């Protein structure tokens, strides 16, 4: 039987209450477009702070007059599950200096018309949160920036705001999952995409070429697989001399560059032209067209399964300051054009199958002095600054050559001796078989 009227505040006297469910029965819950006026309402829920609640459900109770609902919730430190769908709440844009609901695991707010920036919501600081439903809340992105980095968000990213407004999407260091293709199909106006250290899967599609304003791509630490797309030249945001004016200058993000994590804030974020695809399962070769992105400052493809040679035009990436191709299966000789990268201050090519002479150049010598491990794990690399002479690899040792020649002569001698012996025995045997007098004389000699 459905209840009507005001929720009695006397419920706050139940000092041992751990479980409170005021939602209508499952059969009575209407579809979102049929909610209409809720049967129950409340103008004051401060009494909830008197209860040691762990589970609280006020689904479809009219709370439109409650403006401090988040502060009330914060006064229930024992709370683990909170369900407030369809409650006519008007805002989640409250400031809570100190969070007490540190055990809250599930928060359901669908169907409340918040109509403000998603990033201003108080609940993003809840580190214990495992389930969050914001569908139908009309939250939007302020200035095109959506930064939900460094939380404990799980599952697929909910569609609780207008994706066409987003040009900066930073979701790094969470536990989000889903297919990369879905993200790219949803957010079509991206300039910055940072999904690092999540559980995203799929391949990098050729359609990445349509993101002409993209200046920062970070997919590190996911489960992205397959080959790299071939078409990169259309990414004008990564071309040298192209500056993208952004609508919002309050972004901040971390970038793994020059072997360490660095933080960038405000407009400096948009100047950091970077591609980081490290720690994935990428296969195949590095496309030559990748080298056409002359504005890229940081290129990190390390810890994948890439094969083939380093692009021959790598030297035209004149803005490159950090290049990390370590822990792949790259082979072939190093390009002399590497020494043309005047701004390069960090290089790591370790643990590949690279061969041949290391390019000469003061720039590369300086980098080696700072990172003497940059060529490790490439056993057939030689030349300065390594303590391995290329002559020793390419030419046989003189002592070994003489030893091999001596062994060959000895073998030839014994082989000739054996052949001569066998031939001599056969000559004697054949002579005796066909000469009767010799055969008789030979028998007489043994008889005596």
Domain that holds residue 419: 412-447
Q: Give the Cα separation of 162 and 146 in Å (integer).
A: 11
The answer as to whether 58 is a domain residue is yes
Separation CA 262–CA 272 (nearest Å): 11
| Residue of higher predicted confidence among 55 and 112 | 55
**Which of 108, 139, 170 is a domain's end point?**
139
Q: Within a domain: residue 374?
A: no
Per the structure, the count of domains in the chain is 2
* Length of the chain counted residue by residue: 448
The CATH number of residue 10's host domain is 3.80.10.10
In a domain, 126, yes or no: yes
Mean pLDDT of 7-31: 80
Is residue 368 over pLDDT 50?
yes
Is 279 a residue whose pLDDT tops 80?
yes
**Res. 247 pLDDT band, cuts 50 70 90:** very low
- Can you name the residues that pair with 177 across neighbouring β-strands? 199
Q: What is the pLDDT of residues 190-207, one digit of tens each?
A: 989 999 999 999 999 999
Torsion of CA 294, 295, 299, 305, to 10 degrees: -50
* Average pLDDT, rounded, for the chain: 82
The residue with greater pLDDT, 416 or 102, is 102
Answer whether residue 138 shows pLDDT above 90: no
For residue 310, what pLDDT is reported?
95
Please compute the mean of the pLDDT values over residues 275-287 and round it to a whole number.
97
pLDDT at res. 445: 54
Residue that wins the pLDDT comparison between 160 and 83: 83
> What pLDDT was estimated at residue 245?
46
3-state secondary structure at position 422 = helix
pLDDT tops 90 at residue 30: no
pTM (predicted TM-score):
0.67
pLDDT at 117: 75
Residue 300 lies in a domain: no
Residue 408 has pLDDT above 90, yes or no: no
For residue 284, give both structure tokens. 């195949």
pLDDT of residue 396: 46
Does residue 128 lie in a domain region? yes
Note the pLDDT of residue 120: 76
Q: Report the pLDDT averaged over residues 332-341.
A: 91
**Arithmetic mean of pLDDT, 287-296:** 93
pLDDT at residue number 128:
84
pLDDT band at residue 335 using 50, 70 and 90 as cut-offs:
confident
In a domain, 376, yes or no: no
pLDDT, position 417: 65
Q: Is pLDDT of 248 > 60? A: no
pLDDT above 70 for 290: yes
- State the average pLDDT over residues 273-302: 95
Q: What angle do CA 426, 428, 434 make, to 5 degrees?
A: 100
Confirm whether 97 is domain-assigned: yes
Last residue of a domain, one of 116, 139, 162: 139
Among 81-85, 150-154, 166-170, where is mean pLDDT lowest? 150-154
Residue 233 domain-assigned?
A: no
* Residue after which a domain boundary falls, among 91, 115, 139: 139
Judge whether 104 and 129 are in contact, CB under 8 Å: yes
Contacting residues for 190 by C-beta, under 8 A, at least 6 apart: 166, 167, 168, 169, 184, 211, 213, 214
């Amino acid at each position: 039987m459905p209840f009507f009227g005001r929720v009695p505040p006397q419920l706050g006297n139940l000092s041992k209450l751990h479980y409170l469910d005021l939602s209508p029965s499952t059969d009575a819950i209407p579809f979102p477009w049929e909610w209409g006026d809720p049967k129950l309402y409340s103008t004051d829920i401060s009494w909830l702070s008197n209860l040691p609640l762990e589970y609280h459900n006020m689904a479809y109770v009219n709370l439109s007059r409650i403006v401090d609902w988040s502060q009330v919730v914060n006064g229930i430190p024992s709370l683990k599950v909170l369900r407030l769908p369809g409650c006519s709440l008007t805002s989640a844009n409250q400031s809570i200096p100190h969070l007490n609901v540190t055990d809250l695991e599930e928060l359901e707010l669908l169907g409340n018309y918040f109509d403000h920036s998603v990033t201003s919501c108080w609940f993003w600081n809840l580190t214990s949160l495992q389930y969050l439903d914001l569908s139908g809340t009309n939250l939007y992105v302020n200035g095109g920036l959506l930064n939900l980095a460094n939380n404990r968000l799980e599952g697929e990213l909910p569609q609780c705001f207008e994706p066409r407004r987003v040009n900066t999407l930073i979701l790094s260091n969470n536990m989000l999952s889903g297919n990369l293709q879905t993200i790219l199909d949803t957010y079509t106006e991206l300039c910055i995409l940072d999904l690092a250290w999540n559980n995203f899967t799929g391949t990098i599609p050729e359609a990445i070429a349509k993101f002409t304003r993209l200046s920062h791509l970070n997919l590190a630490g996911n489960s992205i697989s397959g080959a790299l797309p071939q078409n990169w030249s259309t990414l004008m945001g990564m071309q040298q001399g192209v500056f993208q004016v952004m609508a919002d200058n309050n972004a901040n993000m971390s970038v793994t560059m020059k072997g360490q994590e660095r933080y960038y804030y405000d407009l400096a974020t948009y100047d950091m032209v970077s591609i980081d695809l490290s720690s994935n399962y990428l296969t195949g070769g590095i496309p030559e067209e990748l080298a056409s992105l002359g504005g890229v400052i940081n290129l990190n493809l390390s810890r994948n399964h890439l094969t083939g040679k380093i692009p021959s035009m790598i030297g035209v990436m004149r803005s490159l300051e950090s290049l990390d191709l370590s822990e792949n299966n790259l082979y072939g000789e190093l390009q002399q054009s590497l020494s043309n990268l005047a701004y390069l201050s960090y290089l790591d090519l370790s643990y590949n199958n690279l061969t041949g002479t290391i390019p000469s150049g003061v720039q590369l010598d300086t980098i080696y002095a700072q990172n003497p491990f940059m060529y490790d794990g490439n056993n057939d690399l030689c030349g300065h600054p390594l303590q391995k002479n290329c002559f020793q690899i390419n030419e046989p040792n003189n002592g070994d050559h003489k030893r091999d020649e001596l062994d060959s002569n000895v073998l030839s001698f014994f082989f000739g001796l054996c052949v001569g012996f066998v031939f001599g025995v056969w000559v004697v045997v054949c002579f005796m078989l066909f000469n009767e007098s010799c055969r008789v004389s030979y028998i007489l000699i043994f008889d005596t």
